[in-house]
Amino acid sequence: MNTNFQKCNQRGRGDRRGAMLVMIAVVFVILFISAAFAIDIARMHVTRSELRTATDAAAKAAVEALGREQSIAAGTAAAVEIARRNVVAGKGLGLRESDIEFGGSVAQPDGSFTFDPDSSFVNAARVIGSRTSGSLDGSVNLFFAPIFGVENFQPSQVATATRTDRDIALVLDVSGSMSKKGRFAALRNGLNVFLQELDSTSQQEFVSLTAYSTESRKLQELTDDMNQVRDKFSRQRPGGFTAIGRGLGTGLDSITNDPRSRPFALKSIIVMTDGNQNRGVNPTVIARQCANQDVTVHTITFSDGANQRLMREVANLASGQHLHARNNQQLVDAFREIARQLQVLLIE
């Protein structure tokens, strides 16, 4: 009897081991399928993000070149070039001329814009970026989905940009650290390049000038005379601590409460610093106020000692762009890039 019991017990354990092996195999299959889907879904999300970035950049480049060169051909060429410089699913995005359309932007009562392809006044560009079977680069291959009968992924993205007038506040760091390594001269050059870019546009920009160190001071109220801005800054000398928040607050006041502030002009602030906030209100507090008043804040950090994390956060809070310059030439280039981007507005 003991012998029979032992045999039954051994068969029971064997059956359980066999059942467990089957269960483990099923779990492994489920895990593999889940991992496969996760990898392809992640690829799809990344591709959509890359496509959106590339299409936005192409639309901005198209309308920036359109205004600068006063040429649709130049706008088309710029869109094609910038798209190719933006990677989507492992390769630069290819655009055909038919993917780029020029027209006008029409302001709506709620402050938004719509795109009119039949407008006689051309100041906007619409770009259709896609990775479909009919696009220049074809669809996006997936890694594991073909096992389940899904061969590829075919995303498409539309971006429309326009040019419009702006009220701009320049908020510049004149603290003591700016006296080092030719930084103040580089800032003067960057400011001059920035103003030259504005002078070359077809829009009318009004510019105010704020300088800050331990305290902030408004040097120039809103004006369309860029020489006045140059003249006021030429009298500045570096010294003191770094109160970025105070400077940003003065800049905000200069484009929202100035008598020349235009109700239908877009509002932008450019804040430049080479250091760390060490006096006064935190600039993130003012950045939130800017966002609440629909004022965009772009930030430029200069030198390795600047607090890039903080200034990137300030820009993000107020829907702006952050650029970092490691040397004097890069500072000039950063001012030039932001001046050109200011002329552009994504409306779709």
- The string of pLDDT tens digits covering residues 302-330 is 998 899 999 999 999 998 989 999 999 99
**Cα(185)–Cα(92) distance, integer angstroms:** 38
Both tokens assigned to 199: 């002078």
> Average per-residue pLDDT in the chain?
87
Domain that holds residue 104: 29-162
One-letter identity of residue 139? S
Could you give the 3-state DSSP secondary structure of residue 265?
coil
* Model pTM score: 0.63
Single residue among 145, 162, 179 that ends a domain in this structure: 162
214 and 312 together in one domain: yes
Phi then psi for 158, rounded to 5 degrees? -120, 135
- Structure confidence at residue 25 (pLDDT): 59
223 and 341 together in one domain: yes
Number of separate helices (H) and strands (E) present in the chain: 8, 15
One-letter identity of residue 16? R
Q: Is 80 exceeded by the pLDDT of residue 26?
A: no
171 and 248 together in one domain: yes
In angstroms, what is the C-alpha Rg of the chain?
A: 28
Give me the sign of the Cα torsion angle 35, 40, 41, 47: positive
- Structure confidence at residue 141 (pLDDT): 81
Q: Is 60 exceeded by the pLDDT of residue 276?
A: yes
Cβ proximity of 321 and 344 under 8 Å:
no
Closest CA to 67 of 345, 279, 348: 345
202 and 321 together in one domain: yes
Q: Is 80 exceeded by the pLDDT of residue 234?
A: yes
Single residue among 162, 180, 202 that ends a domain in this structure: 162
pLDDT band at 152 (very low <50, low <70, confident <90, very high): confident
Could you give the 3-state DSSP secondary structure of residue 121?
coil
Tell me if 293 is assigned to some domain. Answer: yes
242 and 155 together in one domain: no
174 and 323 together in one domain: yes
**Cα(134)–Cα(156) distance, integer angstroms:** 11
DSSP assignment of 161-188: EE---EEEEEEEE-SGGGGSTTHHHHHH
Give the CATH number for residue 182. 3.40.50.410
Q: What is the mean pLDDT of residues 259-283?
A: 91
Cβ proximity of 336 and 194 under 8 Å:
yes
**Cα(266)–Cα(7) distance, integer angstroms:** 87
Q: Give the chain's domain count.
A: 2
**Cα(264)–Cα(254) distance, integer angstroms:** 16
266 and 338 together in one domain: yes
**Cα(63)–Cα(56) distance, integer angstroms:** 11
What count of other Cβ atoms lies within 10 Å of the Cβ of residue 224? 13
- Structure confidence at residue 64 (pLDDT): 87
pLDDT band at 15 (very low <50, low <70, confident <90, very high): low
Closest CA to 261 of 126, 330, 169: 169
Closest CA to 202 of 297, 102, 122, 111: 122
Lowest-pLDDT range, 68-72, 289-293, 300-304, 329-333?
68-72
Which parts of the chain are beta strand (E)? Answer: 87-88, 91-92, 100-107, 113-116, 124-130, 140-141, 152-153, 156-162, 166-173, 206-212, 216-223, 266-273, 295-302, 322-325, 345-346
173 and 152 together in one domain: no
251 and 157 together in one domain: no
136 and 233 together in one domain: no
Cβ proximity of 184 and 283 under 8 Å:
no
**Cα(104)–Cα(310) distance, integer angstroms:** 37
Single residue among 125, 143, 162 that ends a domain in this structure: 162
Tell me if 264 is assigned to some domain. Answer: yes
151 and 170 together in one domain: no
Q: Is 80 exceeded by the pLDDT of residue 237?
A: yes
Closest CA to 212 of 193, 233, 194: 233
Distance from first CA to last CA of the chain, Å, rounded?
Answer: 84
Percent of the chain scoring above 70 in pLDDT? 86
312 and 214 together in one domain: yes
Calculate ∠ Cα 259-264-267, nearest 5°: 75
Both tokens assigned to 254: 């200069």
| DSSP designation for 320 | -
